[in-house]
């Protein structure tokens, strides 16, 4: 089949010499169609990175089967079509950024005639063109993550595996990663994203698997990766907000601030905002419009509620 198929995947480890056996994954089964952006979330120690390792062919399962386009994960044809950004990057720090990418371009047996152009395009794609001649050891954490992503995207892979790709990246870098992932989706690249940044997962992914204690406990559909609005719950001092100002006036203030009024109840109003800056603009507009804002609280997202509702989800497991 086109895409990824996982059937009955089980993986165990042994702690130390003669130690106890720890089951990292238990009977995991799922299918990821080609071209889908699929997120993996869960508490620390849930088995997410082990799952990625099995999908990439780095780890051999104790039971079960994985196929990618009908082949084993370690098949050379699959490897040639795969890009991978690990959580913990180990780079050749004595190289320059440009030399590092040229080296991996050669390792991937990509055409030498296009090497310079491909490396230039990759550096530009992750906003590192000006750092081409800079030694990797001089790169910041965020620059290293972007260089790792550029290396993962060399050769236009059909499958891209990302393990905490925005770790240590500044806000501008997060926006860059989000744009690149959206571009991968437009090109029908299959993206597997493991991340604790739930808002980023919601913005990028079509579906998300919640993993806990080595099992997939739920798979959520996330509106085909549509832009996710944050919901802000606003309460007014004194009388309820719905009594202090008419719904139409609240809606007009929200629109002027780039937000959207979702609901007004006796106690509070709920607004959709794009981000923290949008929330700040809305609160300022409400105050200017005569609303004595006493409390403004972000509402949990769907994935945050999934974390909170799952029994024991906040605890780490082996």
Measured CA angle at 34 (ends 30, 37), to 5 deg: 75
> What rounded mean pLDDT belongs to the chain?
85
Q: At 239, is the pLDDT very low, low, confident or very high (cuts 50, 70, 90)?
A: low
pLDDT category at 305 given cuts 50, 70, 90 is low
Three-state SS at 152: helix
Which range scores top for mean pLDDT: 10-19, 42-51, 129-138, 229-238?
129-138
314 pLDDT band, cuts 50/70/90, is very low
Return the residue matching tokens 């236009």.
156
Same domain, 117 and 184: no
Q: Examine the domain organization and report whether 241 and 223 are in the same domain.
A: no
Parallel/antiparallel/unpaired status of strands 37-41 and 190-194: parallel
Same domain, 222 and 116: no
Q: Is the pLDDT of residue 122 over 60?
A: yes
The answer to the question of residue 44 being in a domain is: yes
Query: Which residues fall within 8 angstroms of residue 119, CB to CB, at 6 or more apart?
Result: 98, 101, 102, 105
- Strands 230-236, 269-273: pairing is antiparallel
- Within this chain, do residues 67 and 176 fall inside the same structural domain, yes or no? yes
Instruction: Out of 130, 155, 180, pick the residue that ends a domain.
Output: 155
Tell whether 305 is covered by a domain. Answer: no
Residues 245 and 100 in one domain: no
In a domain, 318, yes or no: no
Q: Which of 210, 228, 246 lies at the terminal end of a domain, its last residue?
A: 228
How many domains does the chain fold into?
Answer: 3
Looking at the structure, tell me whether residues 21 and 122 fall in a common domain. no
What are 79-94's pLDDT values in tens digits?
999 999 998 888 888 9
15 and 74 part of one domain: yes
Encoded tokens for 27: 């009977």
**Helix, coil or strand: residue 215:** strand
Q: In whole angstroms, what is the distance from residue 318 CA to residue 305 CA?
A: 23
What pLDDT is recorded for position 318? 31
In this structure, the answer to whether residues 105 and 251 fall within a common structural domain is no
Same domain, 181 and 287: no
Examine residue 306 and state whether it is found in any structural domain, yes or no.
no
pLDDT(71) > 60? yes
Distance, in Å, from the CA atom of 56 to the CA atom of 222, rounded to the nearest integer, reads: 24
pLDDT at residue 238 above 80?
no
Q: Which pLDDT belongs to residue 306?
A: 65
Is residue 189 included in any domain, yes or no? Answer: yes
Count Cβ atoms within 10 A of the Cβ of residue 64 and give its class: 0-12 exposed, 13-18 middle, 19 or more buried.
middle
Q: What is the CATH number of the domain that holds 224?
A: 3.40.50.300
Tell me, yes or no, whether 205 and 215 share the same domain: yes
What pTM value is reported for the model? 0.74
Could you tell me how far CA 153 lies from the centroid of its own chain?
Answer: 16
> What whole-number distance in Å separates Cα of residue 151 and Cα of residue 145?
10
DSSP helix/strand/coil, 83: strand
| Stronger pLDDT, 270 or 132, i.e. the higher one | 132
In this structure, of 108-117, 220-229, 275-284, the range with the lowest mean pLDDT score is 220-229
Query: Which range, of 60-69, 78-87, 243-252, averages the lowest pLDDT?
Result: 243-252
Range of the domain at 123: 89-155
- Is the pLDDT at 54 greater than 80, yes or no? yes
Work out the average pLDDT over 33-37.
93
- How much of the chain exceeds pLDDT 90, in percent? 46
268 and 206 assigned to the same domain: no
Token digits of residue 231: 């919901």
Domain assignment present for 310:
no
Statement to judge: residues 275 and 145 lie in one domain: no
DSSP string, 195-211: -S-HHHHHHH-SEEEEE
We report the CATH number of the domain holding residue 261 as: 3.30.70.980
**Ranges 55-69, 197-211, 223-237, 281-295: which has the least confidence:** 223-237
DSSP 255: H
Contact 40, 211 (CB under 8 A): yes
Would 113 be classed as within a structural domain?
A: yes
The tens digit of pLDDT for each residue in 95-115 reads 999 999 999 999 999 999 999
- Answer whether residue 247 is part of any domain: yes
Q: Given a cut of 80, is residue 25 above it in pLDDT?
A: yes
């Amino acid at each position: 089949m086109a895409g990824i198929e996982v059937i009955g995947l089980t993986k165990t480890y042994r702690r130390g010499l003669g130690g106890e056996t720890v089951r990292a994954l238990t009977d995991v089964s799922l299918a990821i169609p080609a071209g889908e952006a699929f997120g993996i979330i869960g508490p620390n120690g849930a088995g997410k990175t082990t799952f990625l390792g099995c999908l990439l062919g780095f780890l051999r399962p104790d039971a079960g089967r994985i196929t990618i386009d009908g082949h084993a994960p370690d098949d050379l044809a699959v490897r040639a079509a795969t890009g991978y950004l690990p959580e913990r990057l180990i780079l050749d720090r004595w190289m320059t950024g440009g030399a590092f990418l040229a080296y991996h371009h050669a390792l991937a047996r990509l055409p030498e005639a296009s090497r310079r152009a491909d490396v230039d395009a990759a550096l530009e794609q992750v906003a590192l063109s000006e750092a081409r001649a800079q030694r990797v050891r001089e790169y910041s954490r965020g620059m290293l993550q972007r260089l790792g992503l550029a290396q993962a995207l060399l050769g236009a892979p059909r499958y891209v595996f990302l393990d905490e790709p925005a770790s240590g990246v500044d806000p501008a870098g997060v926006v860059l990663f989000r744009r690149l992932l959206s571009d991968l989706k437009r090109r029908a690249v299959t993206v597997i994203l493991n991340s604790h940044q739930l808002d980023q997962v919601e913005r990028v992914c079509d579906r998300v698997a919640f993993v806990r204690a080595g099992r997939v406990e739920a798979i959520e559909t996330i509106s085909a990766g549509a832009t996710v609005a944050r919901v802000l719950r606003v309460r007014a001092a004194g009388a309820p907000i719905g009594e202090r100002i008419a719904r139409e006036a609240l809606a007009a203030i929200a629109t002027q601030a780039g937000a959207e009024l979702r609901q007004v109840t006796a106690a509070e109003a709920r607004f959709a905002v794009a981000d923290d800056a949008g929330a700040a603009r809305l609160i300022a507009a409400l105050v200017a419009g005569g609303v004595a804002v006493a409390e403004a609280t972000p509402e949990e997202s769907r994935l945050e509620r999934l974390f909170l509702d799952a029994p024991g989800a906040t605890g780490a497991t082996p």
